[in-house]
Amino acid sequence: MDDRTIQAVLFEYIANSTTKRTQPQAEKHLSSSLAVDRRRIRRAIRALIQENRLCYTSHFGSGFIEVCFNRPVRIGKRILLIPAERTVSLLPGDLPVRIAAGAAFGEGGHPTTRLCLAGLERALMEKKLLSEGAGLSGSTGLDIGTGSGVLAIAAAAMGVGRVLGLDTDPCARDEAQRNVLLNGLADRIEIDDRPIHGLGRDSRWGRFSLILANLRYPTLAGLASIIRDITADKAVLVLSGFREDEALDLLSVYTDAGFASLWESSEKEWHGLVLAKAA
């Protein structure tokens, strides 16, 4: 088995693991499954770290090997998450989303961020769910718990006319605003801390065409009736932040609120949904 094949298997092992893996764990597992010397596994680890594909991380004093997201990361067919300081060559049709490193959630490293972005691309770029009527340019989106602002920025990059990103954390709002400016979208994305209740009566926003929410299950379940009240007919919901074993219950909550499932996917025991509101 050549070195590149070992590297490919190693990367998939780390990328698809549902728990953090230490270097000794990776060496032991792969030397056994591939029947190769552990020294070759160590060499593969060093090569992938040098290529910035894997990196060492520390958590509560323990060291782990994880996928490195301090590099451009493609999600779906067109979305390219790019660290703020990186220069990249784009392919035709790429939608670049630049995100500065910070403390706020949403740099692409977590499966739920990737599931939301994949669901958003599926809904807007492949299924073209908001293309009727006023079209994407006339639509409004709401990102609940915007964090780094990555979902709001991606929605605007895909053509959603105006997007409101809400977060109660002032640090997250500051980072989201900086990322909005970094992507040149300050005229189309607003970051705020206003309460979600009553947003549907705000004349500046009206009823939303698109909802983005990467939140844990109890919060998402509790928001179902509010989201129903602030969304327009045929509105699209992109949800993640919940576990696979919570998906059926959450879908039932939103079905009772008048939404139907259009797409779902899982990654590392996390789940994502795209739903549409009945007319």
Q: How many CB atoms lie within 10 A of CB 107?
A: 21
Q: Which residue has the tokens 């049709």?
A: 93
d(CA 99, CA 73): 11
Q: Does some domain include residue 90? A: no
pLDDT (mean) for 141-164: 95
Indicate if 45 and 138 belong to the same structural domain. Answer: no
DSSP secondary structure, the chain, as one string: --HHHHHHHHHHHHHH-SS-B-HHHHHHHHHHHHT--HHHHHHHHHHHHHTTSEEEEEETTEEEEEE--SS-EEETTTEEEEETT---PPPTT-EEEEE---SSS-SS-SHHHHHHHHHHHIIIIIS-TT-STT-GGG-EEEEET-TTSHHHHHHHHTT-SEEEEE-S-HHHHHHHHHHHHHTT-TTTEEEE---STTGGG-TTT-SEEEEEEE--HHHHHHHHHHHHHHEEEEEEEEEEEEEGGGHHHHHHHHHHTTEEEEEEEEETTEEEEEEEE--
| End residue of a domain, out of 67, 82, 100 | 67
Indicate if 137 and 21 belong to the same structural domain. Answer: no
Indicate if 116 and 21 belong to the same structural domain. Answer: no
pLDDT (mean) for 8-14: 89
d(CA 271, CA 261): 13
Indicate if 59 and 116 belong to the same structural domain. Answer: no
Domain housing 25: 3-67
Indicate if 121 and 29 belong to the same structural domain. Answer: no
Assign residue 18 the CATH number of its domain.
1.10.10.10
pLDDT digits (tens, 9 = 90+) for 34-88: 999 999 999 999 999 988 888 888 877 788 998 877 778 888 889 998 888 778 8
Q: Does some domain include residue 81? A: no
Indicate if 28 and 130 belong to the same structural domain. Answer: no
Assign residue 269 the CATH number of its domain.
3.40.50.150
Evaluate if residue 104 carries a pLDDT over 60.
no
Q: Does some domain include residue 93? A: no
Indicate if 115 and 61 belong to the same structural domain. Answer: no
Indicate if 30 and 147 belong to the same structural domain. Answer: no
Indicate if 140 and 218 belong to the same structural domain. Answer: yes
102: confidence class by pLDDT, cuts 50, 70, 90 = low
Domains held by the chain: number: 2
Indicate if 262 and 180 belong to the same structural domain. Answer: yes
pLDDT (mean) for 205-233: 95
pLDDT (mean) for 13-19: 83
Q: Does some domain include residue 228? A: yes
pLDDT (mean) for 174-197: 94
Q: Does some domain include residue 83? A: no
Q: Does some domain include residue 74? A: no
| End residue of a domain, out of 42, 67, 92 | 67
133: confidence class by pLDDT, cuts 50, 70, 90 = very low
Query: What does pTM read for this prediction?
Result: 0.81
Indicate if 187 and 54 belong to the same structural domain. Answer: no
| End residue of a domain, out of 34, 52, 67 | 67
Indicate if 121 and 19 belong to the same structural domain. Answer: no
Contacts of residues 37-45 at CB distance under 8 Å and 24 or more positions apart, as own/partner, are: 40/3, 40/6, 41/6, 41/10, 43/3, 44/3, 44/6, 44/7, 44/10, 45/10
Evaluate if residue 196 carries a pLDDT over 70.
yes
Q: Does some domain include residue 27? A: yes
183: confidence class by pLDDT, cuts 50, 70, 90 = very high
Q: Does some domain include residue 254? A: yes
pLDDT of residue 131: 62
